[in-house]
Structure 1
């Protein structure tokens, strides 16, 4: 390999680790923990050069993060609705 040129033949899949941590603390912690585990699997597979496992784990981590965010938003909306209903009955 020539000096100054990077090896772009190996593609690293995104880990979504930061998103997973955010979802664990702010949205839905059970799905967030599962997403963190899958994100770590992506990182390990990227390190080992296992593109198939990295791609599959990355897809699962992304889907878990989307589900966690949706459940968190639904929960937040439900809490707001309950608070508004309780305050309107006073």
Structure 2
């Protein structure tokens, strides 16, 4: 009986939480590409909720989508910045 109560008192720490990329999503929302950044924040929150509920499959899927949206947002932001610099240089000529 004692072993059962000890087993019930143990917390399952073997579960691995998927990364949420929330900080990266917030950065991309303000600095790179607003629409993709907002979508990344939504998927980051979904990954966090799934992690909290122990739904590893949904957490992994949401984390992957958030990461891909963040990469796309960053790339589009950098392309936009490069285009802006090129336009400013051309305008000065």
State if a TM-score over 0.5 links the two structures.
yes
Q: Name the structure 1 match of 2:55.
A: 50
Q: Which runs of 5+ in 2 are unaligned?
A: 1-5
Q: Name the structure 1 match of 2:22.
A: 17
CA RMSD across the alignment: 1.6
User: Number of paired residues?
Assistant: 86
Q: Report the alpha carbon displacement of residue 8 of structure 1 after superposing the two structures with TM.
A: 3.0
Distance between the aligned counterparts of 1:9 and 1:17, measured in 2?
A: 23
Q: Report the alpha carbon displacement of residue 50 of structure 1 after superposing the two structures with TM.
A: 0.1
Question: Do structure 1's residue 60 and structure 2's residue 65 form an aligned pair?
Answer: yes
Question: Do structure 1's residue 34 and structure 2's residue 34 form an aligned pair?
Answer: no
- Report the TM-score, using the length of structure 2 for normalisation: 0.87
Q: Report the alpha carbon displacement of residue 7 of structure 1 after superposing the two structures with TM.
A: 4.0
Q: Which structure has the greater CA radius of gyration?
A: 2
Q: Which runs of 5+ in 1 are unaligned?
A: none
By percentage of residues, which structure has more helix?
2
